[in-house]
A and B are shown apart, each in its own frame.
Chain A
Amino acid sequence: MMSLRRVSTLVLGLALLAVSGITVGCGSPAVQDTETVVIAGSTSVQPLSELLAEEFMKERPGVQVTVQGGGSTAGVRAVTDRVADIGAVSRPLREGEEGLKQFVIALDAIAIVVHPDNPVEELTFEQVREIYAGQITNWSALGGPDRAISLVTREEGSGTRTAFEELVMGGTPIAEGAVVQNSNGAVRATVAQDPSMIGYLSLAYVTPEVKVLRLDGVEPTVDNVKEGRYPLARPFIYVTREAPQGLVKEYLDFVLSEAGQAIVEEAGVVPAR
């Protein structure tokens, strides 16, 4: 009786040991066996990075490119701490970050959008700032109908919001009453169902559901962004800690090659070259 109990405990203990051994065994060697590139950072760049990584892995079987989110700032930190090989950043680099090697892989425009029924066609930079600061509150002040303006913005920390705040707001806080949505798609859906809404979103997400406004007279087209005429544009940047070597260099070369830039354009983002 006693021995049976002991045997059963032993069996179970061995089984548990075996299981834990297997899981531990699975975890580590994968990193060493295959060649890997780890990309971390901006969630705006993430879909593009995933597409590029997928194509790169097709060309180089046996290579593993891992794409993680976390935000632009987290990407810079990951590269500095050597947690990631490449950091993805969707805003201009800040002070203290210039020591990193940077490669502009694409340009993204932030489009100012309204409901298709809104007769307003064009705003100035200044007007957009005053709208989002809560100083202009009625469409009639902008040549539209007598209707209160409703704002939709992105969540605190979003790359799109950060870029919008830095490029447009310049330190003025966004009005507290603005509706907050947590993705480009949700912002678009919000604007598409309310004639009093104004929103901003990445150019790649614009569909006929919403109307894009001209900003200082310039429409956010691929050409205008490339030539630097559209003022509300931001770079998608890959950063590395040192001059890239080996596989990281191969990946960067691929991204900046004609084939890589064609993928960028296909994704609806403006190619860097």
Chain B
Amino acid sequence: MRRASREWQRLGERCMERLLFAGSLSGIVTLGAMVVFTFAAGLPVILRTGLGRFLLGQHWRPLEGEFGIAAMVVGSVFVTLGALAAAVPLGLGTAILLSEFAPPWVRRIARPAVELLAGIPSVVYGFYGLVVIVPLIRQHLGGVGFSILAGSVILAVMILPTLITIALDSLRQVPDSYRQGSLALGATRWQTVRRVVLPAARSGVVAAVVLGAGRAVGETMAVLMVTGNVAVLPESILSPVRTLTGNIALEMGYAAGEHQQALFASGIVLFILTMILNGLIQLRRVGRVAR
């Protein structure tokens, strides 16, 4: 009797194990299926247009069969860089303050507040940008307001939670003995942070920046609402731009045939961009293990 029940327990455990395995497999299978599908749908148009003309072409006239995504690649890159320029100092500064200087009760309030920021839907950010940021830029800096700058400001706020939480976690993981050792040697608190804690947490901090960048490249809705979506190479940060994701979201509803393939092709470019970003983190990890 007792033996039988133990066998049943084991059976249950095995079933569970297999279920979990099937679950993890489904993630990989989904990813694989999406890669195959995107490439199958997008590659023909890249091959027909020629990789150079597709990536460097400056004219996007899908209804006339002209597919050049240079303006959109530039748009995505600049909006992302702008967002990082604003969010990295702010995010790292916040993480360092919360980890090293602020009393615990501040951390207990600030961290959930930052995480709440991540829960706001992106349309809400976009709408806020449309009615507040865009008019502010137009009135004080000129242009139409819809611009790289507007996109960067909105994105900076959106990627702050990612940056802060990951950087904060990696800073907290640095053992306290490091700090105590440094302080005991007569270093000031700021010297300790800069020379001991930050270098020790470097891979986590880099991961925070890269993940933030990945989120910025991929964000669609909020950016779509504030960048003006003009598919022309921008002249300044006050020029309107169209991003790769924005382009897909704008036209997917109507696109058919070659136009649709071209949108999938810009999906491939996005996919490769994200892979490069993730590759950067992996490289860092491998490097650290080797050392």
Q: Does B276 contact A (CB under 8 A)?
A: no
Partner among B7, B22, B231, B251 whose Cβ is within 8 Å of the Cβ of A157: B251
Closest-CB distance, B65 to chain A (whole angstroms): 13
Residues of A within 8 A of B144 (CB): 150, 179, 194, 196-197
- Is the Cβ of A177 less than 8 Å from the Cβ of B253? no
Known: A190-B130, A193-B135. A179 touches B256 (CB 8 A): no
- Is the Cβ of A69 less than 8 Å from the Cβ of B138? no
Residues of A within 8 A of B232 (CB): 176-177
Residues of B within 8 A of A180 (CB): 228-231, 242, 250
Q: Does A81 contact B (CB under 8 A)?
A: no
Q: Does B255 contact A (CB under 8 A)?
A: yes
Known: A74-B256, A179-B230. A193 touches B134 (CB 8 A): yes
Residues of A within 8 A of B62 (CB): 156
User: What is the CA–CA distance of A11 and B17 in the complex, to the nearest angstrom?
Assistant: 13
Q: Does B189 contact A (CB under 8 A)?
A: no
Known: A179-B146, A180-B229, A194-B144. A12 touches B253 (CB 8 A): no
Closest-CB distance, A199 to chain B (whole angstroms): 12
Per-position 1/0 for A1-33, Cβ under 8 A of B: 000110111011000100000000000000000
Partner among B11, B225, B230, B259 whose Cβ is within 8 Å of the Cβ of A186: B225
- Is the Cβ of A179 less than 8 Å from the Cβ of B228? yes
- Is the Cβ of A189 less than 8 Å from the Cβ of B130? yes
Partner among B10, B19, B138, B240 whose Cβ is within 8 Å of the Cβ of A4: B10
- Of the four ranges (under 10, 10 to 19, 20 to 34, 35 or more), the interface on chain B belongs to 35 or more
Q: Does B18 contact A (CB under 8 A)?
A: yes
- Of the four ranges (under 10, 10 to 19, 20 to 34, 35 or more), the interface on chain A belongs to 20 to 34
Closest-CB distance, A68 to chain B (whole angstroms): 11
- Is the Cβ of A71 less than 8 Å from the Cβ of B15? no
- Is the Cβ of B135 less than 8 Å from the Cβ of A194? yes
Known: A8-B14, A193-B134. A181 touches B251 (CB 8 A): no
Closest-CB distance, A7 to chain B (whole angstroms): 6
- Is the Cβ of A8 less than 8 Å from the Cβ of B253? no
User: What is the CA–CA distance of A135 and B249 in the complex, to the nearest angstrom?
Assistant: 30
Closest-CB distance, B257 to chain A (whole angstroms): 11
Per-position 1/0 for B14-34, Cβ under 8 A of A: 110011001000000000000
CB under 8 Å from chain A, chain B span 201-243: 224-225, 228-232, 240, 242
User: What is the CA–CA distance of A5 and B17 in the complex, to the nearest angstrom?
Assistant: 11
Q: Does B145 contact A (CB under 8 A)?
A: yes
Q: Does A240 contact B (CB under 8 A)?
A: no
Q: Which residue of A lies closest to B225 (CB)?
A: A186
User: What is the CA–CA distance of A41 and B224 in the complex, to the nearest angstrom?
Assistant: 24
Known: A5-B14, A150-B144. A71 touches B254 (CB 8 A): yes
Q: Does B131 contact A (CB under 8 A)?
A: yes
- Is the Cβ of B131 less than 8 Å from the Cβ of A189? yes
Q: Which residue of A lies closest to B71 (CB)?
A: A176
User: What is the CA–CA distance of A74 and B232 in the complex, to the nearest angstrom?
Assistant: 28
Please, could you name 27 A-B residue pairs with CB atoms under 8 Å apart, sorted by A? A4-B7, A5-B14, A8-B15, A11-B15, A16-B22, A43-B253, A70-B253, A71-B253, A73-B254, A77-B256, A155-B251, A156-B62, A156-B63, A156-B251, A157-B255, A177-B240, A180-B230, A180-B242, A181-B229, A182-B224, A182-B229, A186-B225, A189-B130, A193-B134, A193-B135, A194-B145, A196-B144
